Amino acid sequence: MALTVLMNAGPWLPVPPPGYGGIENVVATLVPELRRLGVRVVLASVADSTLPVDELLSVFPQGQFAALQKPYNQVMGIAHAHLNAVVRALRERDDIDLVHDHVEAVGLAVLSAMGPGARPALHTLHWDLGKHPDLYGYVDGGDRVRVNGVSAAQLARAPRALRDHAVGHVHLATPLAVGADRRPTGEKADHLVILGRITPGKGQHLGARLAHEAGFDLVLAGPVGPYRRPEELATAGPEADQNPDVRYWREQVAPLVDGVRVRWIGTVAGADRDELVGRARASLFPLCWEEPGGTAVIESLALGTPVLAVGRGCLPELVEHGRTGLLAEDGDALADLVPAVARLDARECRREASRRFTPATMAERYVELYERVRRLPATAAADGDRTDGGGRR
């Protein structure tokens, strides 16, 4: 396919990321499949990104993620400096057909501000769309900037101005889903796991409380703000408390982490992550927010581990209650489901993942959206996707 896409992954982490990194993982999963389909990819990221691409654009030598905990007035220039380089590339060169942007808020605003003569752009909304109401409530990308969600539930809650620019949703994918239906099930251990950023929306405090009350072993894996390991957080200076996730950890989660019933092992990556999740009896998602896309949910299915979750956000789209997981109305109801979730069939989880969540499936869907965004006149962007929650209302 003769199509060149500028894939804007942003300045926060390299692609692929060293461990945690939801958006960068999505980009790392999507790009190889797009290139297999013949799409040329110019990646806008940081200079130490190692993903094979046709060209790499960068401003920063390394990921700027750690800066996110500093006060806004010290770090607000970072995303803008990165976008400045993207805009310069779009102005100076004529080989780019479309921008696929993943930079929260700033990407959407800057691309929209480029006006009617600019290259078409698709901005993927990776977030809870209750965020940024002042931007999402009034954004106007005209004919040239369209958005897509990562689940139907996410877009259904989007403000009208955003939905007017929506071309639908694309579920997330994982390389672990490739051939998942052919992988044998390994031995299960006794623990449940919560894999993800330690942050109030992911509900680690609820999970830890349930583990003590219902009597199951729980492993928490993931970073607390920029701190990837317990030792790093333990030796952090007083500035650490400026980070709301650090405060959440210290006030609501850490008192329940006894190192026996509930353990925090920091960020896990690669084979360690796969083994931790694959051997768990279930992945627990005691959600306190509307989970928008749920990469860790589909990874769990691909690794043959059923999902035990509060059925909020994208969860009902990804998990079939009674077959690939169990969904509860709220956090308290999760405890009763622990014995039953362990009896679900790992093969069903892996089969579902290999059917729905492979990188090839995601890439084909994005190529459809790229074509649609390039062809669309101002008024008809959403017509093809009314049924899945992404359409114009």
Binding residues for ligand UDP, rule: CB under 6 A, are 19-22, 25, 195-197, 221-222, 267-269, 273, 293-296, 299
CB burial of 241-256 (b: ≥16 within 10 Å; e: otherwise) equals eebebbebbeebbbeb
- When the beta carbons of 164 and 290 are compared against ligand UDP, the nearer one is 290
Burial of 97 (0-12, 13-18, 19+ CB in 10 A): middle
Q: Least Å distance between CB 90 and ligand UDP?
A: 27
- When the beta carbons of 127 and 141 are compared against ligand UDP, the nearer one is 127
- When the beta carbons of 18 and 384 are compared against ligand UDP, the nearer one is 18
Q: Least Å distance between CB 3 and ligand UDP?
A: 27
- When the beta carbons of 296 and 382 are compared against ligand UDP, the nearer one is 296
Q: Least Å distance between CB 365 and ligand UDP?
A: 17
Tokens of 182: 């052919």
Position with the least CB separation from ligand UDP:
22
- Tokens 């989660």: give the residue: 253
- When the beta carbons of 53 and 193 are compared against ligand UDP, the nearer one is 193
- Tokens 């990874």: give the residue: 299
Cis-peptide, bond into residue 16, ω within 30° of zero: yes
Q: Are strands 307-310 and 282-285 parallel, antiparallel or unpaired?
A: parallel
Helix H, strand E, coil C: the string for 130-198 is CCCHHHHCCCCCCCCEEEEECCHHHHHCCCHHHHCCEEEECCCCCHHHCCHHHCCCCCCCCCEEEECCC
Q: Least Å distance between CB 264 and ligand UDP?
A: 10
Q: Least Å distance between CB 144 and ligand UDP?
A: 27
Q: Least Å distance between CB 111 and ligand UDP?
A: 21
- When the beta carbons of 221 and 254 are compared against ligand UDP, the nearer one is 221
Q: Least Å distance between CB 40 and ligand UDP?
A: 26
- C-alpha gyration radius of the chain: 21
- When the beta carbons of 164 and 299 are compared against ligand UDP, the nearer one is 299
DSSP string, 249-314: IIIIIGGG--SSSEEE-----HHHHHHHHHHSSEEEE--SS--SS-HHHHHHHHTT--EEEE--TT
